[in-house]
A and B are shown apart, each in its own frame.
Chain A
Amino acid sequence: MPVIWILLIVLALAAVGYVLGRRRAYASAEGEIRKLHSLPAYYGYNAAMLTAVPAFFVIAIWLIAQPILIDARIGALIPDSAISESSTRGLVMSDVRRVAEGLDKLVAAGSLTDEETHNLHIETTDIRELLGSVGTALGSDVAPEVLSAAQDYRVLSGAASLGMTILAFVAAIGGLYYSLKQTNKDFRARNTVESMVLSLLVVASTIAILTTAGIVLSMLFETRNFFSQYNWADFYFGTTWSPSFSGRGGSSQLGLLPLLWGTLYISVIALLVAVPIGLYAAIYLSEYAGPKMRSAAKPLIEILAGIPTIVYGLFALITVGPMLRDYFAQPLGLGESASSVMTAGIVMGVMLIPFVSSLSDDIINAVPQSLRDGSLGLGATKSETIRQVVVPAALPGIVGAVLLAASRAIGETMIVVMGAGAAARLDLNPFEAMTTVTVKIVSQLTGDTDFSSPETLVAFALGLTLFVITLGLNIVALAIVRKYREQYE
């Protein structure tokens, strides 16, 4: 039975549980709601949750565990002789899965009965053609071992899904029965439901934290692999970035510095664009603009934040880049390249304006009116008040906003690829093409890669370095923002 049906049936059972639980609670209180410990709906929710949650839990665990267990069983069945030299067990297993999938499709299309799939033989049927007829294309002819493994695979999976269906229904019905049994007027259904909701919230927050931890761990693991193949000092202090993909190992120079330099150079230019414009826009909007102007301009500025970065990249590629080259770089004799640090920096700065302005605007608005009154009352002009009282009071928050924008700038990829190119270079000339850490992570991992050579593993080391930098910036930003909040509460 397909999983979606199981889920729907369990949900229907939960709905039934809701109705029954409610009704039973009513009955046990003889229709008088004041005698119940909780509102009747809580008894309903209790029954519904006890029905659905264990069943869903069973399904989730099963769906995670089943492929792992079956792969292990089937994988052990394939003899070493069936694995050719250029291949691995993993690749053969994926062939097995594809064949099994194709057989499923054949059965579903009605061209084979379940019985016939077990009697297929490599000698009597052209399996490859047969599977091709239902859209499952295979790279090579099916080996007999693969076919028999696929047949076993189908049998096992079939048994496993049946097991899952039965277990899920048992869990659902058992939960329903248990919850109805415990429903009576003294049962504290509200407390139970609320603690179940609480655990739901805890699970949700844990998933986010665990994911972060998982990301860090996987990066750490691969980074360690990288440093076992490549000297860490050459990575962190190397000034040349020239990976080679053809000749494996040895000839690559994987120095971080040109990439880090490009990242920081572009980010600094982006911030030089974004911070003044964003800050001045925020000051205008929060201090000078009338309510009408404000309500129109603020959403318009925030539209900038909604533009996908790839669109900014196009803008950099076809408009800003050539313009900078024709009007600045060529006349000044600084280069012929349309992709340059300047292009990417400026466009990225435009992208960051709404970050800076929107956050700063909120922060400036949070400065108490009494401070403005105090300054105006001393005979300061509006601009003196803003410069000497409002902005200094909001400064920690503004710094926080700028640091958050900086971490965005450091992590940006698309604009850099399209605006600044992909040449790793250590250069001061802002009209020269350069590239950043993120771009190189992408280029090291695109295409046909295997995760054993330093050329691909370096991506994880780069990613981890970047992660540490942005994490540090975020921590500093949060600390500053927090300190600022303490001042006015």
Chain B
Amino acid sequence: MNNMLMSEKKLETTQTKISAKDVNVYYGDTHAIKDVNVEIPEKTVTAFIGPSGCGKSTFLRCINRMNDTIDVCRVTGDILLDAEDIYDKRVDPVQLRAKVGMVFQKPNPFPKSIYDNVAYGPRIHGLAKTKAEIDEIVEKSLRRGAIWDEVKDRLHAPGTGLSGGQQQRLCIARAVATEPEVLLMDEPCSALDPIATAQVEELIDDLRSRYSVVIVTHSMQQAARVSQKTAFFHLGNLVEFGDTSDIFTNPSDSRTESYITGRIG
């Protein structure tokens, strides 16, 4: 298993990738996110933790405008990606989602071959002109998803036939294949066993060198292992945001302390 050392690695940059200002989200009459302000730095892993229903997944889905697909959902405030407002009328959510990839809680490979699953993004975005280029992207992505060795001999077998952990790594490879700038992960390990979890966590740490990764997790240990920044949400509020080491060793808010020591949640 990984240890706490990973999160203590020095942050290489402090440039802000995503910045949220006074974000409020409503589901019909429910006020799901209340005045959230957060600055997510580039090339880091940021963990969102908090009890169920605290709004961390909702906020994550705001970053690539996946909430647009829900009719009753309404978002106010500004979310800036590279200082550009993603809720601006001129921004096409489709283009945004190509830049901000997403990995979901449950592995959701398409009912296609492994190859076609990974090639899906590059094909729809026209990232490759020839078959050879797509082959290359597929191989590179599967390698980055740490699953190449397991599937290289059966690229044309259906993706749904893989085990749960393999499926999730395939989904990560699929997300990586479109070369996003930010990768959002919504509890990517909740359906996985400890071994697959360890593989995915290792992968997340590798991905940090190229992307900003935002991960929602219920596991405090996982947050501590993989992230450099941690945000604690509670009842729709962002209670505390800071370096992971600080949050876990020296939380400034009593609610954060109660949560990470297991008293609320």
Contact = CB atoms under 8 A, between A and B. Distances in A.
B104 A384 contact: no
B124 A393 contact: no
A308 interface: no
Given A392-B112, A487-B111, A376 B120 contact: no
Contacts of B106: 370
A472 interface: no
Interface residues of A, number: 20
Nearest to B175: A378
A218 interface: no
A148 B187 CA distance: 93
Given A373-B66, A373-B69, A487-B160, A379 B108 contact: no
Say what secondary structure dominates the interface of chain A. Answer: helix
A164 to B, nearest CB: 63
A378 B97 contact: yes
B111 A375 contact: no
B36 to A, nearest CB: 21
Given A379-B94, A379-B125, A389 B110 contact: yes
Nearest to A394: B111
Given A378-B121, A379-B124, A487-B160, A373 B178 contact: no
A378 B179 CA distance: 10
Interface in B160-179: 160, 171, 174-175, 178
A376 B174 CA distance: 12
A380 interface: yes
A144 interface: no
A368 B111 contact: no
B102 interface: yes
Nearest to B71: A290
A371 B66 contact: no
A452 interface: no
B14 interface: no
Interface string A367-391: 0101111111111110010001100
A376 B71 CA distance: 15
B66 A377 contact: yes
A384 B125 CA distance: 11
B145 to A, nearest CB: 14
A374 B124 contact: no
B124 A384 contact: yes
B95 interface: yes
Contacts of B102: 373, 377-378
A376 B110 CA distance: 12
B55 interface: no
B101 interface: yes
Contacts of A379: 94-99, 101, 121, 124-125, 178
B244 interface: no
Interface string B59-90: 00000101001010000000000000000000
Contact of A381 (B94, B104, B110): B94
A81 to B, nearest CB: 78
A396 to B, nearest CB: 10
Contacts of A375: 110, 120
Nearest to B177: A378
Contacts of A377: 64, 66, 97, 101-104, 175
Contact of A370 (B98, B108, B124, B175): B108
Contacts of B125: 379
Contact of A371 (B95, B110, B124): B110
A32 B59 CA distance: 62
A379 B181 CA distance: 13
Nearest to B97: A379
Contact of B66 (A376, A380, A389, A487): A376
A376 B97 contact: yes
A381 B109 CA distance: 17
A392 B112 CA distance: 8
B111 A392 contact: yes
A370 B108 CA distance: 6
Contacts of B69: 372-373, 376
A377 B102 CA distance: 5
Contacts of A371: 108, 110-111
A368 B108 contact: yes
Interface in A107-124: none
Contacts of A376: 66, 69, 97
A124 B111 CA distance: 89
Nearest to A374: B108
A372 B112 CA distance: 14
Contacts of A487: 111, 160
Contacts of A388: 110, 120, 124
Interface of B: 64, 66, 69, 71, 94-99, 101-104, 106, 108-112, 120-121, 124-125, 160, 171, 174-175, 178
18 contacts: A371-B108, A371-B110, A373-B66, A373-B69, A373-B108, A374-B171, A377-B64, A377-B97, A377-B101, A377-B103, A378-B98, A379-B124, A384-B124, A388-B124, A389-B110, A389-B120, A392-B110, A392-B112
Lowest 5 A-B CB distances belong to which pairs? A379-B98, A377-B102, A370-B108, A379-B97, A374-B108
Given A368-B108, A388-B120, A487-B160, 9 more contacts: A372-B69, A373-B66, A373-B108, A374-B174, A375-B110, A378-B120, A379-B94, A393-B110, A487-B111
